[in-house]
Amino acid sequence: MRKAAVFTILVMCGSLAIADMRITEWMYGGENGEFVEFTNTGAAAVDMTGWSYDDDSRLPGGFDLSEFGLVMPGQSVIITESAAEDFRTAWGLSASVKILGEYSNNLGRNDEINLFDPLENLVDRLTYGDQDIPGSIRTNGASGNIPAGSLGLNDAMAAALSALGDGYGSWTSAGGDIANPGAYIPEPATLALLAAGAGLIRKRRRQ
């Protein structure tokens, strides 16, 4: 009985590791370059060797993400059309933030972000555009954030535009863009849920 329970938890953790790399932030245009942020929202590290990104042409292998290598739980990584070090300087990011620069897909005002694993499975997708999806945000010069409750749901309507002093920790780049690249801060409610979940696992381990 006890072995079976432990096995179930291990299987759950394994599947979370594959499934929980998520699109957490994007900006299709800006003075310091468009970018997309992916965050490992799972409980285990994810090796991104063989992973790839594409926009609305939806082709696995479009932009290789292998160089990200191992991404730890809670860690965010960035792809940008700018040179990686230019982006790092413009946003004042530390050397520890993983950035892959100079992709050429060019996200448009109405476009799509597709994330593929090494087996070419679609792991996450965000279809966005204030013209195609009336009432949704326009991420030109300010990024969009996916709330924790909407991660992986491809729901552009749920996305929130970055603003100074917001709960996502947004700040201003050298060129005047407003965003929070390199980290994902879930809402306090989510943190409480995560803490409750961790408590549950500890309780089970003690039994």
| Interacting residues with Ca ion (CB under 5 A) | 25, 28-29, 34, 37, 55, 106-108, 111, 180, 184
By beta-carbon proximity to Ca ion, the closer residue of 103 and 184 is: 184
By beta-carbon proximity to Ca ion, the closer residue of 38 and 51 is: 38
By beta-carbon proximity to Ca ion, the closer residue of 117 and 141 is: 141
3-state helix, strand, coil in the chain (%, to 5): 25, 25, 50
The distance of closest approach from Cβ of residue 54 to Ca ion in the complex, given in angstroms and rounded to an integer, is 9
Distance CA 7, CA 138 (A): 45
What's the Cα-to-Cα distance from 114 to each of 56, 125, 154, 168, rounded to whole Å?
7, 5, 10, 23
The distance of closest approach from Cβ of residue 185 to Ca ion in the complex, given in angstroms and rounded to an integer, is 7
The distance of closest approach from Cβ of residue 162 to Ca ion in the complex, given in angstroms and rounded to an integer, is 8
Q: What is the dihedral of CA 140, 172, 101, 72, to 10 degrees?
A: -110
- Listed in sequence order, the DSSP H helices in 50-187 are 84-91
The distance of closest approach from Cβ of residue 10 to Ca ion in the complex, given in angstroms and rounded to an integer, is 30
The distance of closest approach from Cβ of residue 25 to Ca ion in the complex, given in angstroms and rounded to an integer, is 4
Distance CA 172, CA 15 (A): 37
Secondary structure (H, E, C), 159-190: CEECCCCCCCCCEECCCCCEECCCCCCCCHHH
By beta-carbon proximity to Ca ion, the closer residue of 65 and 107 is: 107
By beta-carbon proximity to Ca ion, the closer residue of 93 and 123 is: 93
Distance CA 15, CA 46 (A): 11
The distance of closest approach from Cβ of residue 168 to Ca ion in the complex, given in angstroms and rounded to an integer, is 6
By beta-carbon proximity to Ca ion, the closer residue of 56 and 155 is: 56
